Amino acid sequence: MSKLYLVPTPIGNLRDITFRALEILGSVNLILAEDTRQAKKLLNHYNISTPLQSHHLFNEHKSVESVCSKILSGQTIALVSDAGTPGISDPGFLLVRTCLEHEIPVETLPGPTALIPALVNSGLPCDRFCFEGFLPPKKGRNKRLTSLASETRTMVFYESPYRLVKTLQEFALHFGPEREASVSRELTKIFEENIRGSLTFLSEYYTAKTPKGEIVIVVAGSK
Ligand code: SAM
């Protein structure tokens, strides 16, 4: 039966992909990709020649209905994002919702995502946690930080290297300078780095050493 597959792809190391993900990418009629050039690198590496179509934040509202029509007419389609799990701070949610409205089966494969290795590596409690993704850059940012000050679960954030120090300083203001945290940079890549310490220590560390690459911040919950 035709369906939509959501297929996680590596967050850095091309070998972090499951046998089943490769099987599905090689057997579907069409792969929807956030960036077709990025997807091609992965597909070429694994000699997969399935047709690609672009599906990103700026065209997904327009394209979801036609994607659903294709599946309803018998095609099986896979969605991939640039890295990690589609739908996690990446396009995916709207397509899943629309497929479900049309009673199209949706299957999400388990696989790479940046938040889980960062959380487990942090050494902070991971029995309960909340994923906050990217904080709003301006509007609503302060309100979100104020509401998170009383959060007791470990918190996971995505951040860009350009904003890391500012964000750590804001966390210190809202959560307290001694709150424990961890910064994971370039997970699964050659220069992977996991630095743990108080928010003050981390903001001083990255003030002295300008961060590069992709970053996850994990912050202990309030006691
Ligand atoms: N869908 C992805 C996932 O499942 O993790 C997230 C996509 S989001 C657009 C990209 C953000 O994820 C980056 O800015 C960074 O915060 C985080 N990220 C992705 N790859 C990473 C890596 N290798 N190391 C650390 N953080 C990473």
Instruction: Name, in order, each residue with C-beta under 8 angstroms of 188's C-beta and a sequence gap of 6 or more.
Output: 10, 11, 12, 13, 16, 112, 117
- Please report where in the chains the tokens 């000699």 appear, as a residue: 47
Q: What pLDDT is recorded for position 115?
A: 98
Q: What pLDDT is recorded for position 210?
A: 96
Between CA 174 and CA 149 the distance in angstroms is 6
- Cβ–ligand 1 distance for 186 under 6 Å, the answer yes
Q: What pLDDT is recorded for position 58?
A: 82
- Cβ–ligand 1 distance for 90 under 6 Å, the answer yes
Between CA 14 and CA 46 the distance in angstroms is 10
Q: Quick one: tokens of 172? A: 């210190």
Q: What pLDDT is recorded for position 157?
A: 98
Q: What pLDDT is recorded for position 61?
A: 86
| Atom 19 of ligand 1: nearest residue by CA position | 114
Query: Could you tell me where the DSSP H helices lie in 58-208?
Result: 60-72, 93-101, 115-121, 141-148, 164-175, 199-208
Q: Ligand 1 pocket check: which of 158, 164, 190, 219 to mutate, most ligand atoms within 8 Å of Cβ?
A: 158
From residue 121, how far is each of 57, 118, 156, 200 by CA, in Å? 30, 5, 12, 20
Query: What would you report as the CA-atom Rg of the chain, rounded to the nearest whole angstrom?
Result: 19
- Cβ–ligand 1 distance for 42 under 6 Å, the answer no
188: CA distance to ligand 1 center in Å? 11
Structural domain boundaries in the chain: 4-108, 115-219
115-219 and 4-108 share a CATH fold: no
Query: Does the CA dihedral 167-171-172-178 come out positive or negative?
Result: negative
Q: What pLDDT is recorded for position 46?
A: 97
**Three-state SS for 82?**
coil
Residues 4 and 77 sit within 8 Å (Cβ to Cβ) = yes
Q: Ligand 1 pocket check: which of 14, 193, 215 to mutate, most ligand atoms within 8 Å of Cβ?
A: 215
214: CA distance to ligand 1 center in Å? 6
The CATH class for the domain spanning 115-219 reads alpha beta
Considering the domain 4-108 in this protein, what is its CATH number? 3.40.1010.10
Q: Quick one: tokens of 78? A: 């896979």
pLDDT (tens place) for every residue of the chain, 223 residues total:
699 999 999 999 999 999 999 999 999 999 999 999 999 999 999 999 999 999 988 888 888 999 999 999 999 999 999 999 999 999 999 999 999 999 999 999 999 999 999 999 999 999 999 999 999 999 999 999 999 999 999 999 999 999 999 999 999 999 999 999 999 999 999 999 999 999 999 999 999 999 999 999 999 999 9
38: CA distance to ligand 1 center in Å? 14
Residues 160 and 184 sit within 8 Å (Cβ to Cβ) = no
> Among 82, 110, 112, 78, which residue's Cα sits nearest to residue 96?
78
